[in-house]
Amino acid sequence: MEKINLAIVDDEALIVSLLSSFFNDQSGVKVVITAESGESFLEQLETAKVRPDVVLLDLKMKGMSGIDVMEVIRKEYNTINAIIMSSHYKQSFTGFMIKTGVAAFIPKGIVSENLVAIVKEVHQNGFYLLPDQLGVLRNQVSSRVPEPVLGDENALSDRELEILKLICLQKTAKEIGEVLFIAQRTVEGHKNNLFFKTQTKNIAGLVIYAIQNKIIEADEIMLL
């Protein structure tokens, strides 16, 4: 099995060291970058022979914050999925984090076994929501979200709606292709159209869009 390439960014050297040792002991994960600041991480990323698939990113750091780093990742390295892990975790931050492009937002005190599972989930599906975050997202859905207009050039087609629902159910492009009897490349094309039409940046953003527009209910989303 191909290993998940992981980066760890935290301004506490001890946390970086402990997490790096822990993940290198896990099957299916390889730590390729460690950094004690956002600036150092981005410098290493520019010259890295192997770029990470997933980055564990601290929220509050000296210099660039996790959000600052996220902006650069979103614009220049959008194949990297970011998990923000913070001691300043609050459920109410969830919607903002996802709109920023974060694939998952978790507290630093999370159980280590769950952390490994979340990294793998994010790598495979592009997002992860804690169970209590679903309720928060329901409450954060704006009552001002406009009803989709029929005939709008950005309205989703029936096929795109099918694929969006399957994405929310954490199906991979290959699995979606098998369910709908279409090529994986075709699924990827529809997914790119979904990003464009919904003005979202990642899979997590698509999930929020689907919940806000009542394309899928939050309770339907499969969790670990």
Structure tokens at 154: 């950005």
Q: How far apart are CA 122 and CA 115, in angstroms?
A: 11
DSSP letter at 151 equals: T
The band of 18, judged by pLDDT with boundaries at 50, 70 and 90, is: very high
- pLDDT for position 201: 75
- pLDDT for position 222: 52
- The backbone torsions φ and ψ at residue 223, rounded to the nearest 5 degrees and listed phi first, read -120, 165
Enter the pTM of the model. Answer: 0.73
CA atoms in the 13 A half-sphere facing the CB of 94: 22
Structure tokens at 117: 């599972």
- pLDDT for position 91: 74
Mean pLDDT across 161-175? 89
**Residue-wise pLDDT tens digits, 93-132:** 877 887 788 899 999 888 888 999 999 989 988 888 887 7
Structure tokens at 172: 């991979």
Starting at the edge strand found earlier in the chain, the sheet holding 54-58 runs 29-35, 4-9, 54-58, 81-86, 104-107
**Residue-wise pLDDT tens digits, 48-107:** 999 999 999 999 998 999 999 998 998 899 889 999 998 878 877 877 887 788 899 999
Q: How far apart are CA 35 and CA 67, in angstroms?
A: 16
Q: How far apart are CA 96 and CA 180, in angstroms?
A: 33
Percent of the chain with pLDDT over 70: 88
Mean pLDDT across 178-192? 91
Q: Chain-wide mean pLDDT for the chain?
A: 85
Give 104's strand partners. 83
Q: Does residue 190 have a pLDDT over 80?
A: yes
Q: How far apart are CA 167 and CA 64, in angstroms?
A: 32
Domains of the chain, each with CATH number or no CATH: 4-129 (3.40.50.2300), 141-219 (1.10.10.10)
- Residue predicted with more confidence, 41 or 203: 41
Structure tokens at 119: 């990294």
